[in-house]
Structure 1
């Protein structure tokens, strides 16, 4: 009996049977096998494709991060390049300044003497080496005096609240001498020594109304007072140099507001500090004519090369 393949299909209308020969059965089986194999191969390829796409997506993210990092590195290089350009400009400017300074220092001695106002009456035939030595000595002496005698501002800013002389005291309302200058300033403003010296007092001064007070002793009998300080940065017996930070302004003692009270005294005699504040190398002679309470003649005898200075 020939082998046959019978296929039964059942529907709502009943069942039907189909008879296939053995060859047709093989073909149907082969078709089903190939369909199943194709299904599994397609799924495998789909999974591999999905994994490949996921890998490509990760590579895309990595490339984007590297691109962003490269942009940041490029920006950093540009910033460094700009900074180097700025530094080059600064160095070039400083070099130009130094060249100008060298030219100025190489100027004729007579011009320098004219600027300083010294040695102008020397004979024209005086050898240049002698003029140079005398000019150097005179300059050193002037700088020594400018470091020894109070000069310049003790605090940043040039506005003066109360000047030297008699005034109505803002607290007692009585007319009393005001022996210094008042510089209005916010609490904590730096205060500087106006000449080299030694600290005579650094602390709270009872009874004077000065509050926290610094007194500096300088050469030639001069003293400076710095009152109403908030903080003191020096101690008694300490040596200080001109321009050194010694304290910070405040409102201690009898004071109506934050400020620095500054005095210049000579042998305990209060002097008007304004000429001392204005005094410097450019107007060296001015102090010795504006302050008459100091015997400048004896100082002139000590420093004869300061022509135009103390007489």
Structure 2
């Protein structure tokens, strides 16, 4: 039995004392110390991990706060821009009444207006005239000179009393260009009768233009075009005997004397206004003056923002 026990002797001034301890207690103490230090080490590692996690969370929080501040600033900028746009829209709405007056009167009463009286055409600014020539169909839809007649093809005479369209006798695949800024309203392809392949473009203030007997159309419905943009190529679709481009200018879907608009340019600008009394040119000129003022106002706002 003594072999399984460890005798510890402690001597002092009072004498010697002996303690008997089981010899396996030494291993137990060693393992206990090892476990204790492992536990302490684990606690230290856990604390470091938690501190690192807290640092990461704090960094993410700072990033989130910065993003929130940026979004808030952008929101304030957008609010300011929206207010500016609302002011611009209010100015535009004030002018809609003028346009409705022009279009409504024409549509309902077909009123014949006196020749321009209160407009001093000679005093109109070049920029004003240029905008009118861009917004209202003007000039020919082709570049080269071509033989033309101010008449509709025979197949249309049974449904139109007045021959006001223009035929351009041009070679097949002659480029055809938009005569004004606008949006493609209607187009038809692979049609063997009537207009054949044609495209109709809506312009500002109730004007529109139509290009018929095309060989190819390069646009699709809803496309925006600028004056001078290529829209297609002439052809002989629709059953015409030879290549031709048929061209119309319309106002509120009523065909106008297209030849006048084909010849209209900066040099003879006044002639159209003075020789066409079916449109309220006076109100139209004033409206475009307001559009120019609004454009100038927008440019000033843009310059201030920059």
TM-score by structure 1 length?
0.50
Shift of residue 284, structure 1, vs aligned partner: 1.3
Match of residue 280 from structure 2:
295
Q: Is residue 198 of structure 2 the alignment partner of residue 213 of structure 1? A: yes
Structure 1 residue 163, shift from structure 2 partner = 1.2
Aligned with 2:142: secondary structure?
coil
Distance 2:245 2:263 in 1: 17
Over residues 161-189 of structure 1, what are the superposed CA-to-partner deviations in whole Å (9 max), with x where a residue is unaligned? Answer: 33137x7x2x6996964341000111100
Q: Which runs of 5+ in 2 are unaligned?
A: 1-119, 291-306
Residue 220 to residue 174, structure 1, CA distance change in 2 (3 Å): closer
Counterpart of 1:146 (choices 125, 129, 133) is: 133
Residues 177-216 of structure 1: CA distance to partner in whole angstroms, max 9, x if unpaired? 4341000111100000000000011222858611110100
Provide the secondary structure at the position in 2 that maps to 1:161.
strand
Q: Deviations over 1:99-152 (max 9, x none)?
A: xxxxxxxxxxxxxxxxx9743xxxxxxxxxxxxxxx8xx222221111000011
Aligned-residue offset at 1:300 = 3.0
Number of the residue aligned with 1:233: 218
Which residue of structure 2 aligns with residue 222 of structure 1? 207
Change (3 A) 1:162 1:282: closer
After TM superposition, give the deviation of residue 272 of structure 1 in Å.
1.0
**Cα 1:294–1:164 shift into 2, 3 Å:** farther
Distance 1:253 1:188 in 2: 15
Q: How many residues align?
A: 170
1:192 aligns with 2:164: no
Distance 1:263 1:208 in 2: 18
Q: Distance in 1 between matches of 2:142 and 2:220?
A: 19
Which residue in 2 is equivalent to 1:157? Answer: 144
Secondary structure at 2:247's aligned position in 1? strand
Q: Which has the higher relative contact order, 1 or 2, with Cα contacts under 8 A spaced 6 or more apart?
A: 2
* Shift in CA distance, 142/233, structure 1 to aligned 2, threshold 3 Å: same
Q: In 1, Cα distance between the equivalents of 2:164 and 2:221?
A: 23
Q: TM-score, normalised by structure 2?
A: 0.50
**Conserved in 2, the CA contact under 8 Å of 1:199 and 1:214?**
yes
Equivalent in the alignment of 2:3:
none
Q: Counterparts of 1:227 and 1:237 in 2: how far apart (Å)?
A: 18
Distance in 2, matches of 1:271 and 1:264, equals 6
Do 1:161 and 1:183's aligned partners in 2 also have CA atoms closer than 8 Å?
Answer: yes
Query: 1:268 is matched with which residue?
Result: 253
User: For residues 199 and 174 of structure 1, do their structure 2 counterparts lie closer, same or farther at Cα, with a shift above 3 Å needed?
Assistant: closer
Residues 1:255 and 2:240 are matched in the alignment? yes
Please state whether the residue corresponding to 2:189 is helix, strand or coil.
strand
User: CA contact under 8 A between 1:164 and 1:273: conserved in structure 2?
Assistant: no
Q: Tell me, which stretches of 5 or more residues in structure 1 are unaligned? A: 1-115, 120-134, 306-311
Q: Confirm whether residue 245 of structure 1 aligns to residue 230 of structure 2.
A: yes
